[in-house]
């Protein structure tokens, strides 16, 4: 879709077409729908409307009901922050508002009414790679005065349209500019989410981000929050920065780097935040930290909560698998005191305990059988238990789950989970049952 076609889509005729496409769109009948719509509308506009209809469906997983009113590009949707994470991070920024200086100069004025329930706040934030507006929307909705910046003209037009569609234009504006040329003195703090995708696909090396890592390092010398991939090597995180790995419903979404007055403390800090699948409960976004017993205190842990070491023991009654955010943050030993547990092996991210404890930081399994990792022993055990549907988990061992399932030749009406792991007793195969969360 080019910029002119997007503008045409925003006209009354374009909106009627889009509404029709969104109502009728089903993947398996899309070709017939396109043919029908092209009888009455220009082909480019029909293609754009059909693409929006498909992207809105896909975006529902990230943005819920909002997706039905938003506009996207394929890349913009893929790169946009999940609504739950964006709302959580916006909550942290609201919480930090009181620590930030007001801007030195006045940033461009926004127009129109703001969200009714959101009070005006003092700080002004610049979102330096705003994309189609994932973070921008969450910040504006949290009551933050925010200006989005992006180099791509179509993306800028879409971000503006999304703010307008969601009645947030009063809190946010969007400029087309290169992040590196923005006068940051006009803002209290910056957020940035550099592009990690090029025409050739995903970029894993931060040096290839746009804007590049050198710019990220510059931002992190001030008051800033930068979103990066969860696989960011710890050695790249500048000294004095707080790194927070965030998962939603068990899937690690990102590592957010918090610098200056957006941090929660003074020095380096590693934090794991484990959001439930539905994200931050309504009305609690601002209650994210610093309030003992607050909602967010129950879903976030830091290296200050981690003794840094844990006892090691053979398998006990329960196995605990830490959330991916905890593992990426290097806080596995921080789970041990929570579950009164021990590691199975000093270098492996499984814990074991005689206690069954419910914690957001780890999933618990009841250990049903402890076996040596021996194909004959395992085959016999699974046959006796009539297991035909086997889930294989593994850690610290060179096992391919699919190959293992084939070699075991499992057949039978029952389901089971086997965990193949290194332990101080050698490689073990643990038969486990998930416990209710």
Ligand X SMILES: C[S@@+](CC[C@H](N)C(=O)[O-])C[C@H]1O[C@@H](n2cnc3c(N)ncnc32)[C@H](O)[C@@H]1O
Q: Name the residue with the smallest CB distance to ligand X.
A: 134
Contact flag: residue 319 with ligand X (CB under 6 A): no
Contact flag: residue 323 with ligand X (CB under 6 A): no
Contact flag: residue 79 with ligand X (CB under 6 A): yes
- How many Å separate Cα 190 from the centre of its chain? 19
Among 135, 244, 287, 323, binds ligand X (CB under 6 A): 135
From 38-46, 172-180, 240-248, 420-428, give the range in contact with ligand X by CB under 6 A.
172-180
Residue window 177-196: x/- pattern of binding to ligand X, with contact defined by CB under 6 A: -xxx------------x-x-
Place of tokens 């964006």: 86
Residue window 93-132: x/- pattern of binding to ligand X, with contact defined by CB under 6 A: ------------------------------------xxxx
Assess contact for 352 and 316: CB atoms under 8 A.
yes
Nearby residues of 353 by Cβ (< 8 Å), 6 or more positions away = 316, 317, 318, 320, 339, 340, 341, 342
Nearby residues of 352 by Cβ (< 8 Å), 6 or more positions away = 313, 314, 315, 316, 318, 319, 320, 341, 342, 343, 344, 367
Task: State which residue, 115 or 212, has the beta carbon closest to ligand X.
Answer: 212
Asked, as a colleague might, if the bond just before 7 is cis with ω within 30 of 0, I would say no
The pair of three-digit structure tokens given for residue 397, joined into one six-digit string: 């061992």
From 133-141, 244-252, 371-379, 383-391, give the range in contact with ligand X by CB under 6 A.
133-141
The pair of three-digit structure tokens given for residue 100, joined into one six-digit string: 């930030």
The pair of three-digit structure tokens given for residue 186, joined into one six-digit string: 């006009």
Task: State which residue, 132 or 329, has the beta carbon closest to ligand X.
Answer: 132
Q: How far is the CB of 235 from ligand X (least distance, A)?
A: 23
DSSP state of 315: -
- How many Å separate Cα 145 from the centre of its chain? 23
* Alpha helices in 25-64, H assignment, sequence order: 30-38, 43-63
Q: How far is the CB of 402 from ligand X (least distance, A)?
A: 33
Question: Facing residues of 420 across strands?
Answer: 394, 429
Contact flag: residue 134 with ligand X (CB under 6 A): yes
3-state DSSP assignment of residue 115: coil
For residue 7, which phi and psi values (nearest 5 degrees)?
-60, -40
3-state DSSP assignment of residue 331: coil
From 58-66, 76-84, 108-116, 360-368, give the range in contact with ligand X by CB under 6 A.
76-84
Q: What strands lie across the sheet with 145-150, from one edge to the other?
A: 172-176, 145-150, 124-127, 189-192, 224-228, 251-259, 242-248, 269-275, 300-302
Task: State which residue, 55 or 332, has the beta carbon closest to ligand X.
Answer: 55
3-state DSSP assignment of residue 41: coil
Assess contact for 189 and 127: CB atoms under 8 A.
no
For residue 352, which phi and psi values (nearest 5 degrees)?
-140, 150
d(CA 407, CA 387): 14
DSSP state of 424: T
Task: State which residue, 79 or 300, has the beta carbon closest to ligand X.
Answer: 79
Task: State which residue, 159 or 431, has the beta carbon closest to ligand X.
Answer: 159
From 175-183, 315-323, 403-411, 427-435, give the range in contact with ligand X by CB under 6 A.
175-183
Assess contact for 149 and 98: CB atoms under 8 A.
no
Query: How many residues bind ligand X, per CB under 6 A?
Result: 22
Among 49, 50, 81, 300, binds ligand X (CB under 6 A): 81
Among 133, 170, 315, 334, binds ligand X (CB under 6 A): 133
Among 83, 103, 211, 286, binds ligand X (CB under 6 A): 211
Contact flag: residue 306 with ligand X (CB under 6 A): no
Residue window 142-161: x/- pattern of binding to ligand X, with contact defined by CB under 6 A: -------xxxx--x------
Place of tokens 């499984």: 350
Residue window 344-383: x/- pattern of binding to ligand X, with contact defined by CB under 6 A: ----------------------------------------
From 163-171, 173-181, 237-245, 386-394, give the range in contact with ligand X by CB under 6 A.
173-181
The continuous run of DSSP H or E covering 428 comes out as strand 426-434
Residue 98: HSE in the Cβ half-sphere, 13 Å Cα cutoff: 3
Task: State which residue, 180 or 380, has the beta carbon closest to ligand X.
Answer: 180
Q: How far is the CB of 229 from ligand X (least distance, A)?
A: 10
Point out which residues bind ligand X (CB under 6 A).
Answer: 79-81, 129-135, 149-152, 155, 178-180, 193, 195, 210-211
């Amino acid at each position: 879709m080019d910029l002119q076609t997007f503008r045409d889509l925003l006209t009354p005729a374009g909106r009627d077409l889009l509404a029709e496409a969104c109502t009728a769109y089903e993947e398996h009948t899309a070709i017939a729908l396109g043919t029908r719509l092209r009888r009455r509308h220009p082909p480019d506009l029909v293609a754009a409307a059909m693409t929006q209809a498909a992207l809105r469906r896909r975006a529902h997983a990230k943005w819920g009901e909002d997706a039905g009113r938003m506009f996207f590009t394929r890349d913009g949707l893929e790169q946009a922050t999940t609504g739950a994470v964006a709302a959580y991070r916006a909550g942290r920024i609201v919480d930090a508002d009181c620590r930030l200086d007001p801007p030195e100069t006045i940033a461009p004025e926004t127009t129109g009414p703001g969200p009714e329930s959101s009070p005006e706040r003092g700080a002004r934030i610049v979102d330096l790679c705003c994309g189609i507006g994932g973070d921008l929307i969450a910040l504006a909705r949290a009551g933050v005065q925010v200006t989005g910046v992006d180099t791509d003209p179509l993306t800028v037009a879409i971000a503006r349209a999304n703010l307008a569609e969601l009645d947030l234009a009063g809190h946010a504006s969007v400029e087309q500019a290169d992040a590196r040329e923005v006068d940051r003195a006009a803002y209290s703090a910056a957020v940035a989410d550099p592009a990690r995708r090029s025409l050739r696909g995903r970029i894993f090396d931060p040096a290839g981000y746009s804007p590049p890592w050198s710019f990220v390092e510059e931002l992190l010398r001030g008051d800033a929050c930068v979103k990066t991939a969860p696989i960011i090597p710890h050695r790249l995180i500048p000294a004095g920065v707080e790194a927070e790995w965030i998962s939603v419903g068990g899937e690690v979404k990102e590592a957010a780097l918090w610098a200056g007055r957006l941090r929660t403390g003074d020095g380096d800090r590693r934090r794991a935040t484990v959001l439930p699948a539905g994200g931050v409960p309504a009305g609690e976004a601002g209650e994210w930290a610093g309030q003992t017993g607050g909602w967010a205190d129950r879903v976030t842990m830091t290296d200050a909560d981690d003794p840094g070491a844990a006892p090691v023991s053979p398998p006990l009654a329960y196995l605990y698998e830490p959330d991916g955010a905890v593992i990426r943050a290097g806080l596995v030993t921080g789970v041990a005191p929570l579950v009164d547990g021990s590691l199975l092996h000093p270098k492996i991210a499984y814990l074991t305990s005689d206690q069954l404890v419910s914690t957001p930081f780890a999933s618990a399994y009841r250990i049903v059988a402890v076996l040596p990792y021996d194909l004959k022993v395992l085959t016999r055990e699974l046959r006796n238990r009539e297991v035909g549907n086997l889930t294989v988990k593994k850690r610290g061992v060179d096992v391919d789950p699919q190959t293992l399932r084939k070699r075991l030749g499992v057949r039978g009406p029952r389901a089971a989970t086997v965990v193949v792991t290194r332990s101080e007793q050698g490689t073990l195969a643990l038969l486990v049952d998930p416990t209710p969360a």
